[in-house]
Amino acid sequence: MSKNLNFEEAMKELEVIVAKIENEETPLEEILELYERGAELSSQCQKILDKTQEKLENIQKQAELSEAK
């Protein structure tokens, strides 16, 4: 992976990759490279989503603790 993209940038790149893979004129070798890059981006997006969910859960727990006081 050349650089860390934010979630939106990674999703945009994934959309481009999907369009290229769906194009019947894209050579098989390029499809394999695109698929590999897509898998990297998908993994990166999942990590971002997991971290975001964890942060949201922590915020919710803190809010619940504050309300309980």
pLDDT given for residue 2 in this prediction: 52
Number of domains in the chain: 1
Q: For residue 40, is it within any domain?
A: yes
Distance, in Å, from the CA atom of 22 to the CA atom of 27, rounded to the nearest integer, reads: 11
Q: For residue 59, is it within any domain?
A: yes
Query: 3: pLDDT confidence band, cut at 50, 70 and 90?
Result: confident
Chain segment 17-55, per-residue pLDDT in tens: 999 999 999 999 999 999 999 999 999 999 999 999 999
User: What percentage of the chain's residues is helix, strand, coil (to nearest 5)?
Assistant: 85, 0, 15
In which domain, by residue range, is 35 found? 7-68
Distance, in Å, from the CA atom of 56 to the CA atom of 35, rounded to the nearest integer, reads: 31
pLDDT given for residue 24 in this prediction: 95
Q: For residue 1, is it within any domain?
A: no
Query: 1: pLDDT confidence band, cut at 50, 70 and 90?
Result: very low
Q: For residue 2, is it within any domain?
A: no
